[in-house]
Amino acid sequence: QVQLVESGGGLVQSGGSLRLSCATSGIIFSASAMGWYRQAPGKERELVASITSGDITDYADTVKGRFTISRDNAKRTVYLQMINLKPEDTAVYYCKATRYNQNYWGKGTLVTVSS
């Protein structure tokens, strides 16, 4: 059974930092592409950052220079380091694993940035 469990969300002031984690099981993590998505109230889910099995990363323009995605294959975990957070970063953040065009999602963790 595939499981992706996000953690690390919470309430932070504007300019603050958080690190999200997504622990996985039931997938071949090292061979999977991983991504962080977010969905703000009333908005569609959007890609925030992604990392391939070969550690190639990509970021949404809105978070470049502030967010960093990384992975630890030994811990089967992907991280999202977020600095200089803004109120517009408020959303539920989801982790996704992709392999052979099969997608698996976590249930999300809420990040709230107060102004």
Query: pLDDT truncated to tens, each residue of the chain (115 aa)?
Result: 999 999 999 999 999 999 999 999 999 999 999 999 999 999 999 999 999 999 999 999 999 999 999 999 999 999 999 999 999 999 999 999 999 889 999 999 999 999 9
Report d(CA 110, CA 40) in Å as an integer.
Answer: 10
Written as six digits, the tokens of 82 are 């977020």
Cβ contact 63:91 at 8 Å: no
